[in-house]
């Protein structure tokens, strides 16, 4: 008989570690993956910053547009007279209260226009507290105002309310974040978003919408005038009143034709009020044009000349330094 065949199995000793070459390969792959993840994370953060900047910019511009359109669509004079309905040959269609003015700057730098402005009165109508402008007044001022008329129906304490206000919309220089004594530069000359195709470096501005309350006049009631409005003798610029000569609070008749009683040109304010009423920052240009006979042109306008105005055209540009994005908005509004 044949003896059984014996099978023998070779046993290799167990492997204890990777070789140096294998370790280097794994390390290189890990570094490559980490580098790709880091770049993706940085790109995601950059996209989030840009999206956030665009969202904030859109919100700010949207708030500005809504506020401006609301003010422009209100009544600017006594009665229902519109700016486009003024007629120099008809005394009944000439404003006796209030005014509307477009200020055209004298020194635009190409596409960078920063000294235009709007200055006009607004008269709200309605019977609820929300139909009134209001401001903090000096002690006793509100209680000294006439009572029983729509313009003063909701007076109480040291808060004064009026349905009349003078509105001023203008730019002021925005201080540099690192050196407040200087005005910040925002758009470099060679930046693709520069609005003047390589002109001088664009500067940074703040857009103000200032609302200054007026004292009601006799046109609200009849031929007999109210008592003379009180004066704000102690630093009148601290309070949101339209103030004329001698610190006397203006009535709508005081600003209708007398430009000296109006806010424009922008009056200097105390240091602690320089940043108030700011609705937009990082503004590069603010361009206001008038619309007459269907044409848009650069010229000033004042309702005291008893001429009509069809509408206004406004373009505002805002540059966001963090995202390097330029945004602008154009507003056409019939009057």
Q: Is residue 252 part of a domain?
A: yes
154-165 pLDDT, tens digit per residue, is 677 677 888 899
> What pLDDT is stored for residue 264 in this prediction?
80
Q: Which run of H or of E encompasses 313?
A: strand 311-320
> What pLDDT is stored for residue 230 in this prediction?
59
Which residue from 151, 276, 280, 161 is spatially nearest to 210, judged by alpha carbons? 276
68 touches 169 (CB < 8 A): yes
The confidence band for 215, taking pLDDT boundaries of 50, 70 and 90, is confident
Residues in the chain: 335
Q: Is residue 19 part of a domain?
A: no
Neighbours of 181 (CB within 10 A): 6
Can you give the residue range of the structural domain that contains 112?
39-334
252-296 pLDDT, tens digit per residue, is 988 998 888 888 866 666 555 656 788 888 888 899 999 988 888
How many domains would you assign to the chain? 1
Which residue from 36, 313, 80, 324 is spatially nearest to 192, judged by alpha carbons? 324
Going by their DSSP bridges, the two strands 205-213 and 164-173 should be labelled as: antiparallel
Q: Which residue has the higher pLDDT, 87 or 16?
A: 87
* Greatest Cα-to-Cα distance within the chain, rounded to the nearest angstrom: 146
The pTM of this model reads 0.75
Quick one: DSSP state of residue 78?
S
Q: Which residue has the higher pLDDT, 127 or 152?
A: 127
CA distance 102 to 97: 17
Which residue from 294, 297, 285 is spatially nearest to 334, judged by alpha carbons? 294
CA distance 281 to 61: 10
Q: Is residue 17 part of a domain?
A: no
Q: Is residue 25 part of a domain?
A: no
Q: Is residue 5 part of a domain?
A: no
Q: Is the peptide bond before 317 cis (omega within 30 degrees of 0)?
A: no
pLDDT > 80? residue 79: yes
287-330 pLDDT, tens digit per residue, is 999 998 888 888 899 999 999 999 999 999 888 877 777 788 89
Q: Is residue 16 part of a domain?
A: no
The confidence band for 126, taking pLDDT boundaries of 50, 70 and 90, is confident
> What pLDDT is stored for residue 77 in this prediction?
93
Q: Which residue has the higher pLDDT, 29 or 6?
A: 29
Per-residue HEC secondary structure of 117-138 comes to EEEEEEECCCCCHHHCEEEECC
């Amino acid at each position: 008989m044949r003896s059984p065949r014996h099978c023998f199995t070779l046993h290799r000793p167990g492997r204890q570690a990777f070789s140096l070459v294998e370790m280097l390969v794994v390390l290189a792959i890990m570094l490559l993956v980490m580098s790709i993840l880091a770049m993706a994370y940085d790109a995601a953060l950059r996209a989030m910053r840009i999206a956030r900047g665009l969202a904030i910019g859109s919100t700010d511009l949207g708030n500005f547009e809504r506020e401006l359109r609301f003010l422009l669509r209100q009544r600017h004079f006594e009665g229902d007279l519109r700016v486009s309905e003024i007629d120099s040959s008809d005394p009944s269609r000439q404003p006796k209260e209030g005014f509307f003015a477009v200020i055209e700057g004298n020194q635009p730098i190409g596409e960078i226009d920063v000294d235009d402005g709007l200055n006009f009165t607004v008269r709200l109508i309605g019977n609820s507290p929300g139909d009134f402008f209001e401001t903090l007044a000096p002690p006793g001022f509100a209680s000294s105002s006439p009572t029983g008329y729509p313009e003063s129906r909701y007076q109480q304490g040291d808060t004064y309310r009026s349905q009349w206000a003078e509105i001023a919309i203008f730019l002021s220089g925005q201080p540099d974040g690192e050196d407040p004594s200087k005005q910040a530069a925002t758009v470099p000359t060679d930046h693709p978003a520069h609005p003047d195709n390589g002109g001088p470096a664009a500067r940074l501005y703040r857009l103000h919408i200032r609302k200054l309350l007026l004292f009601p006049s006799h046109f609200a009631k009849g031929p007999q005038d109210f008592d003379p409005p009180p004066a704000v003798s102690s630093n009148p610029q601290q309070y949101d009143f339209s103030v004329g000569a001698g610190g006397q609070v203006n009535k709508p008749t005081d600003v209708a034709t007398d430009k000296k009683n109006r806010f424009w040109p922008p009056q200097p304010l105390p240091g602690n009020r320089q940043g108030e009423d700011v609705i937009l920052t990082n503004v590069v240009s603010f361009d206001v044009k008038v619309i007459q006979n269907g044409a848009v042109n650069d010229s000033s306008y004042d309702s005291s000349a008893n001429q009509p105005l069809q509408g206004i055209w406004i373009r505002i540009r805002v540059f966001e330094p963090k995202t390097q994005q330029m945004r602008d908005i154009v507003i056409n509004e019939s009057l």
